[in-house]
């Protein structure tokens, strides 16, 4: 598995108040090494700053990171694949026995850490994990919405949805919704087969009713890059393409656990109130019941199994264990 990870000696470049990036970095270091990581190990990775005051600040910051990791452990409960000890001696390691459902958390960790994953070496090309995150989100969202719902992928990683040029996709979406298009011909390049910023589209319908007006419509954007905040309004441009005759609900799917210690969103001041966030935590606590077999075809999950076997990590991969329980 040599070459799977890269640049692990370089901590995240984000502002320090965005602590979730640094917590992901610590978790990834543990996954990559298969070893336990102590508070002092993390300090060495971050580099020592000169001066007793700077050193105290650094120690205090790393302690906060371990506190957040402990909060993650308490939040995700049995689905959390790491064991965190926080006290006089703080440490984090992978659980002694990994179950199938742990790989869903680890898959989201990988897709949150793309700058450290050598996809070209692993898969022979880039963008595999980005595309598979769209598929992962689509499959979860489909179960989250439940019955009387049509859910489709609109993005490039399309396994069940819209195909063709962007203009053709827009035309077909408007036709399915029985709405009128309102774009001008020069809005689209005939060579553009992208998604226009829309990755998942869904709507709830009433059985045996052909009237599609005044129904719930959902437009979703998936973002794995650290610039996900810049994509919050991407789906709004579809108002210029289709006359929706009302409002639609916007969703943003991200693999990050973008939370503070109190579980508020770290970037809350930048997130619009008309947007529904689907972050790592909400993937695990949606009202869904999903089994591992729904994801075992994804290359990211196969990669995780190979990493764990290569590191000699004990696991129970022969089991078909539910990833989600119903939340009452």
In the chain, how many domains are there? 1
CA distances from 207 to 141, 150, 215, 219 (A): 20, 12, 12, 21
- The whole-number pLDDT of residue 212 equals 86
Three-point CA angle 303, 314, 9, nearest 5°: 55
Residue 302 is inside which H or E element, if any?
helix 299-310
Residue 251 domain flag: yes
Residue 62 in any domain: the answer is no
CA neighbours within 13 Å on the CB side: how many for 131?
14
Residue 263 lies in a domain: yes
Residue 306 lies in a domain: no
Q: What pLDDT, on the 0 to 100 scale, is given for residue 52? A: 54
Average pLDDT over residues 165-184: 94
For 185-215, how does the pLDDT look when each residue is reduced to its tens digit (9 = 90+)?
899 998 888 888 999 999 999 999 988 889 9
Of the pLDDT bands very low, low, confident and very high (cuts 50, 70, 90), residue 159 is low
- Tell me the two tokens of residue 207: 């059985």
Look at residue 318 in the predicted model and tell me its pLDDT: 44
Q: Which domain holds residue 219?
A: 134-287
Write phi, then psi, for 167 (nearest 5 degrees).
Answer: -65, -40
Q: Is residue 25 situated within a structural domain?
A: no
According to the model, what pLDDT value does residue 326 have? 36
Instruction: Give the least confident one: 54-58, 127-131, 194-198.
Output: 54-58
pLDDT, tens digit, for every residue of 29-41? 999 998 999 999 9
Residue 271 forms part of a structural domain: yes
Residue 97 binned pLDDT confidence (cut-offs 50, 70, 90): confident
Asked whether residue 325 carries a pLDDT value surpassing 50, the answer given is no
Task: Report if residue 146 sits inside a domain.
Answer: yes
Query: 219-235: per-residue pLDDT in tens?
Result: 999 999 888 999 998 99
Query: What CA–CA distance (Å, rounded) separates 122 from 5?
Result: 9
pLDDT of residue 158: 62
Q: State the pTM of this model.
A: 0.89
Q: Is 163 within a domain?
A: yes
Phi, psi at residue 51, to the nearest 5°? 100, 140
Structure-block tokens of residue 326:
């119903």
């Amino acid at each position: 598995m040599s070459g799977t990870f890269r640049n692990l000696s370089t901590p995240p470049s984000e502002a320090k108040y965005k602590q979730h990036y640094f917590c992901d970095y610590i978790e990834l270091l543990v996954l990559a090494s298969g070893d336990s990581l102590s508070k002092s190990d993390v300090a060495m990775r971050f580099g020592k700053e000169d001066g007793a005051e700077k050193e105290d600040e650094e120690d205090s910051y790393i302690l906060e990171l371990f506190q957040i990791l402990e909060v993650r452990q308490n939040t995700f409960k049995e689905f959390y694949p790491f064991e965190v000890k926080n006290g006089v001696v703080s440490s984090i390691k992978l659980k002694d026995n990994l179950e199938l459902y742990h790989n869903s958390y680890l898959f989201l960790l990988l897709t949150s850490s793309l700058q450290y994953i050598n996809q070209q070496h692993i898969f022979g090309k880039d963008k595999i994990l980005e595309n598979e995150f769209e598929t992962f989100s689509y499959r979860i969202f489909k179960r989250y919405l439940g019955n009387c719902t049509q859910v489709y992928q609109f993005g490039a990683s399309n396994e069940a949805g819209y195909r063709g040029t962007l203009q053709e996709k827009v035309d077909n979406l408007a036709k399915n919704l029985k709405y009128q298009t309102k774009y001008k011909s020069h809005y689209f390049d005939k060579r553009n087969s992208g998604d226009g910023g829309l990755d998942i589209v869904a709507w709830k319908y009433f059985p045996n009713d052909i009237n599609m007006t005044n129904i719930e419509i959902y437009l979703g954007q998936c973002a794995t890059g650290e610039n996900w905040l810049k994509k919050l309004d991407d789906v709004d441009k579809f108002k210029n393409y289709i006359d929706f005759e009302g409002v639609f609900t916007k969703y943003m799917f991200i693999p990050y656990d973008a939370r503070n210690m109190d579980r508020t969103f770290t970037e809350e001041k930048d997130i619009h109130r008309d947007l529904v966030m689907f972050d790592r935590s909400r993937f695990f606590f949606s009202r869904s019941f999903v089994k591992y077999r729904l994801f075992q075809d994804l290359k990211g999950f196969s990669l995780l199994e190979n990493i764990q076997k290569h590191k000699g990590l004990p696991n129970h991969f022969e089991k078909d264990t539910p990833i989600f329980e119903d939340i009452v």
